[in-house]
Structure 1
Amino acid sequence: MNNIQLRTVLFFALLVFSAGYAQNFQGMAVYESKTALPKFDVPKGMNITPEMQKQIQEGMSKALEKTFVLNFNRTESVYEEEQKLDAPGQNSPFRMMANFGGTSGVLYKNIKDQKLLIQREFFGKDFLINDSLPRLKWVMGGESKKIGNYTCYKATVIVPTNKADFRDMRPKEEKEAEKEKDTLTSAPATNFMDMIEMPKEKTITAWYTPDIPVSQGPENYWGLPGLILEVSDGTTIMLCSKVVLNPKDKAEIKAPHKGKEVTQAEYDDIVVKKVEEMRQMYQMGGGRMPFRSN
């Protein structure tokens, strides 16, 4: 029996052994999320100075630096952003754009019922995304490392990108952008949205610890024999900075219920249509960027 098989067997053995204890077990994990946005070259004809480009890049990167709290028990978890009252620019355009990234709201996972519920506000409207947990076909690795006091093991999975999550956007390769420009018009591209693309899939690298035998993790990641303490897709990294097991003051873990009920696919379509609407407004405005420094 290899190390991976042994860890899996021990995980399920521990679950059986602690069945009576499981009802009262609860934990809390804090995650720091950062996104390194790729640098975009400003196409000729766009009304953006190098200073404005730097401001936009820095503003978006800062807005994507967030802290999240995951409260979990053996079968359920609630994941939401930690609100900081003294944080500047809460209502800035950068913050609004960052919330397109799929990280705002309350995310509830139920492993037993295979249920995913996400309560989210989008442009003043409340939505309740009601869907099943994504099926993640993890590939277990033999590598290990320490995160805090916990020994963690590596696992990877390839997942489709989310067309409504702007953390997945990438600059189009120069040849592809030129090809589309020649096909559509002889004029230089002036639309930022024409300069980006969404890859069809991405590779997720996770580090989990069997020392905390719950199949939970940040965002909608789950399905490993231990709590996921780090997740990275090459652009965004979510790293656990604190773990508290059986805290004295236990948080209430319950499913959200507020908002118009939609599936994940329906919600993504709503976001994409809104982005297209904003793109058209941008073109009608002569390509002027609405961003200002805070």
Structure 2
Amino acid sequence: MNKTIFALVFAAVSYLGLHAQEFQGMAVYESKTSTADFKTRMDGNKDMTPDMKKMMEDRMKSMFEKTFILNFDKSASIYKEEEKLESPGQGGGGMRMMSSMMGGGGTYYKNVKEKAYTVDKEFMGKEFLVKDSLPNLQWKMEGETRVIGGYNCFKATAVLPVSKPDFRNFRPKREEKEEVKAEDKEKKTNFLSELEMPKESIVTAWYTPEIPVNQGPDKYWGLPGLILEINDGKTVVLCSKVVLNPKAKADIKAPSKGKVISQNEYDETVLKKMQEMQEMNQGRGGNGGGRMRMGH
């Protein structure tokens, strides 16, 4: 009887500890985006030397394979890329801009209680503070289960509109069967002209009710347990480590530096600059080299 009472008391204390106001957790996520489509395009480009291809592959690896840290409590979280020293030749404004175009950027703060988020972004030398409502994710419970890192997880899926400025969402256009005119071939030397953006994507999430918080990596939330894996077909974000009630508590608060802007306004700003870059590149015969400045 004493053992039964002890077990019940221990379970109650554990439950209350998880739901106490001071409760915090930390999760490490590894994000990897498939680069197969881009490598195929490079292999088909006869103008690229083996050294150029190797350099591009190394740069893509640094952009498409990242580690993120999620610090969370009952109602809020901050999601941020793990800080790493930049390798020689991989830094610079161009790489930072590409990182921003791939959904990267400072601290992503989610408050599930207020259903709002704030994220600081740097784009073309200008700092933005994107503030908006959390997306209303219509999750469908699939009933499948699996174990991730020792936690029992359940599968859920959702159909989401893609983020147009996020470079990871681009797909190579299907090869056209019609004959391509010479002038059109020249236009197609521009990288962006060979890509297209789908309107929506099917996202698969695996969450664990064993960590009963309404949180997950990046923009994902809304399930009855911490999301340990996200897969949208091109990008997989997988949790590699969870620490509950870490000794060192994180300061979970929204970033505050930058020009306040909505998500739609920010997306339009990035798309406009991407279009300008494409037009400038075509105007220079595909060689690029122009500079742009953000308006204040």
Shorter-chain TM range is 0.7 to 0.9
How far has the Cα of 1:96 moved from its partner? Answer: 3.5
Q: Is the 8 A contact 1:36 1:61 kept in 2?
A: no
Q: Is the 8 A contact 1:60 1:94 kept in 2?
A: no
TM-score (norm 2): 0.83
Q: Is the 8 A contact 1:78 1:253 kept in 2?
A: yes
In 2, distance between residues paired with 1:34 and 1:18? 36
Q: 1:20 to 1:208 in 2, by over 3 A?
A: closer
Which contiguous aligned blocks of 4+ residues in structure 1 show a shift greater than 6 angstroms? none
What are structure 2's unaligned runs of at least 5 residues?
Answer: 1-11, 290-296
How far has the Cα of 1:47 moved from its partner? Answer: 8.4
Q: Which has the higher contact order (CA 8 A, sep 6+)?
A: 1
In structure 2, the residue corresponding to 1:63 is in which secondary structure?
helix
The count of corresponding residues between Structure 1 and Structure 2 is 271
Per the alignment, residue 171 of structure 2 pairs with 170
Per the alignment, residue 29 of structure 2 pairs with 31
In structure 2, the residue corresponding to 1:277 is in which secondary structure?
helix
Q: Is the 8 A contact 2:215 2:221 kept in 1?
A: yes
In 1, distance between residues paired with 2:53 and 2:22? 51
In 1, distance between residues paired with 2:121 and 2:96? 15
Q: Deviations over 1:20-47 (max 9, x none)?
A: 9431111010111111122353699x88
Per the alignment, residue 9 of structure 2 pairs with none
* C-alpha RMSD over aligned residues: 2.7
Q: Deviations over 1:104-162 (max 9, x none)?
A: 21111111111111111112111011100000000111111111111111111010011
Q: 1:186 to 1:256 in 2, by over 3 A?
A: closer
Higher mean alpha-carbon deviation, 141-150 vs 264-273, is at: 141-150
Percentage of matched positions with identical amino acids: 50
Q: Is the 8 A contact 2:109 2:119 kept in 1?
A: yes
The one-letter amino acid paired with 1:231 is I
Per the alignment, residue 62 of structure 2 pairs with 62
Structure (1 or 2) with the larger CA radius of gyration: 2
What are structure 1's unaligned runs of at least 5 residues?
Answer: 1-13
Q: Which residues of 2 match residues 196-211 of structure 1 at below 5 A? A: 196-211=195-210
In 2, distance between residues paired with 1:203 and 1:135? 15
Q: Which residues of 2 match residues 129-148 of structure 1 at below 5 A? A: 129-148=130-149
In structure 1, the residue corresponding to 2:127 is in which secondary structure?
strand
The one-letter amino acid paired with 2:134 is L
Q: Is the 8 A contact 2:206 2:228 kept in 1?
A: yes
Per the alignment, residue 281 of structure 2 pairs with 282
Q: Is the 8 A contact 2:100 2:121 kept in 1?
A: no
In 1, distance between residues paired with 2:47 and 2:288? 7
In structure 2, the residue corresponding to 1:120 is in which secondary structure?
strand
Per the alignment, residue 111 of structure 1 pairs with 112
Per the alignment, residue 216 of structure 1 pairs with 215
How far has the Cα of 1:264 moved from its partner? Answer: 0.5
In 1, distance between residues paired with 2:254 and 2:93? 29
Per the alignment, residue 103 of structure 2 pairs with 102
Q: 1:251 to 1:20 in 2, by over 3 A?
A: closer
Q: 1:164 to 1:116 in 2, by over 3 A?
A: same
TM-score (norm 1): 0.83
Q: Which residues of 2 match residues 1-294 of structure 1 at below 5 A? A: 18=16, 21-37=19-35, 38-39=37-38, 40-41=40-41, 48-49=47-48, 51=50, 52-53=52-53, 55-85=55-85, 87-88=87-88, 89-91=90-92, 93-175=94-176, 187-188=185-186, 189-288=188-287
